[in-house]
Amino acid sequence: MSRVIATVSGKGGTGKTTASVAMARALAERYKVGLFDIDISGANSHRLLNIVKSYDVIKGKDDMKIIPAVAEVDGRQIQFMSIALVSESYLGWKPGEYSDFVEQLFNSVKWDVDFLILDAPPGTHEELITALKYVDVAVLVVIPAQLAHLDARRTLELLSDLEVPVAGQYINFAYAVCPQCGTKIQLFDNIDGIEGIPVIERIPFVRGLPNLDVDKLLTAINNPIKVDMKRPSKVKRALLKMFLRRFGK
């Protein structure tokens, strides 16, 4: 049974796709890995891979089934699916068709993998919400910037509400190294990751794919935490209101 890992962040441009492909490459060193680009309207992970064989559609037991494409990254094979394999043009679908795409492909693609990585879209849109019901664990990708943290917290609230455990966070663009003197340079705000979420690795700003430590990733995946960002229940809120009415003034 494969384990489904969603790479999420909330904010766009944090490096989810790069992290997803880097995670796939790291895990593919030891395991059979799949990558499903569910950032449907911004699918671009295929550009970081070498697609060696396109997807196929064949007759299954009840309906048509999809055989995923085969991609390579640094000589490691990854099973891959993305709408960009059909066309790189813009998506003009109606609301609902995005979640239908995720739902139908989850039930139709014949993955033969130990780990399936989902490259999630920014925000908390329908395709992510649909996909999260299939997800075993989420990996957060944040950059050390206040705005990114605000969006990441929204995503953590969603993960909390849907009871999806979190493996930890990659702090991307954590620093850059001066090529001349080797000094570490802080690129954003003077903050780290999201408080309370284990840090898997701090990734420096690099050209191309960062090399991720597969052992650190596996440790995180195998020891996820339950994120509790639940708002007070109706009962708690009612008691709070009653308390404030009596003693708050």
Partner 1 sequence: MSDVEDIINGLLRLQDKILGDKPVDRWVKDRVVENIGNVASLRVFDEEGETEVTLKLDRDLRIRKTEDKPKHVITMHIDTFIDLLSGGLDFRQAYVNGLVDFEGENYHVHAMMWARAFERIRGWLIKRKLI
Given the rule CB under 8 A, which of 28-36, 80-88, 138-146, 216-224 is the region that contacts partner 1?
80-88
* Closer Cβ to partner 1, 19 or 43, answer by number: 43
Pick the piece of the chain touching partner 1 (CB under 8 A) from 100-108, 114-122, 138-146, 158-166: 100-108
Q: Does 64 bind partner 1 (CB under 8 A)?
A: yes
Instruction: Provide CB contacts within 8 A for 144, sequence distance 6+.
Output: 171, 173, 174, 186, 187, 188, 189, 190, 191, 192, 193
The residues near 105 (Cβ < 8 Å, ≥ 6 apart) are 36, 66, 81
Separation between Cα atoms, residue 26 and residue 214, nearest integer Å: 5
Stretch that binds partner 1, among 54-62, 72-80, 119-127, 206-214 (CB under 8 A): 54-62
What gap in Å lies between CA 29 and CA 27, rounded to an integer?
5
Is 94 near partner 1 (CB under 8 A)?
Answer: yes
Q: Which of 100, 136, 161, 192 binds partner 1 (CB under 8 A)?
A: 100
Indicate which single residue of 5, 71, 105, 142 sits in contact with partner 1 (rule: CB under 8 A). 105
Binding status of residue 97 toward partner 1 by CB under 8 A: yes
Structure-token match 């060696």, residue found: 52
Binding of partner 1 at residue 57 (CB under 8 A)?
yes
* Residues contacting residue 226 through CB under 8 Å, at least 6 positions apart: 163, 165, 166
Among 13, 30, 52, 56, binds partner 1 (CB under 8 A): 56
Is residue 52 a contact residue for partner 1 (CB under 8 A)? no
Q: Is 178 in the site for partner 1 (CB under 8 A)?
A: no
H-run or E-run covering 155: helix 146-161
- Evaluate whether 131 touches 118 at the Cβ level (below 8 Å): yes
| Residue 61 lies near partner 1 (rule: CB under 8 A) | no
- Minimum gap (Å) between residue 108 Cβ and partner 1: 5
| Residue from the set 13, 29, 47, 54 that interacts with partner 1 by CB under 8 A | 54
Query: Which has the closest alpha carbon to 167: 188, 145, 193, 198?
Result: 198
Please identify, using beta-carbon distances, which residue of 103 and 136 lies nearer to partner 1: 103
Which of 37, 76, 53, 31 shows the shortest CA–CA distance to 209?
A: 76
Do residues 2 and 115 touch, judged by C-beta distance below 8 A?
A: yes
- Binding residues for partner 1, rule: CB under 8 A, are 54-59, 63-66, 83, 86-87, 89-94, 97, 100-101, 104-105, 107-108
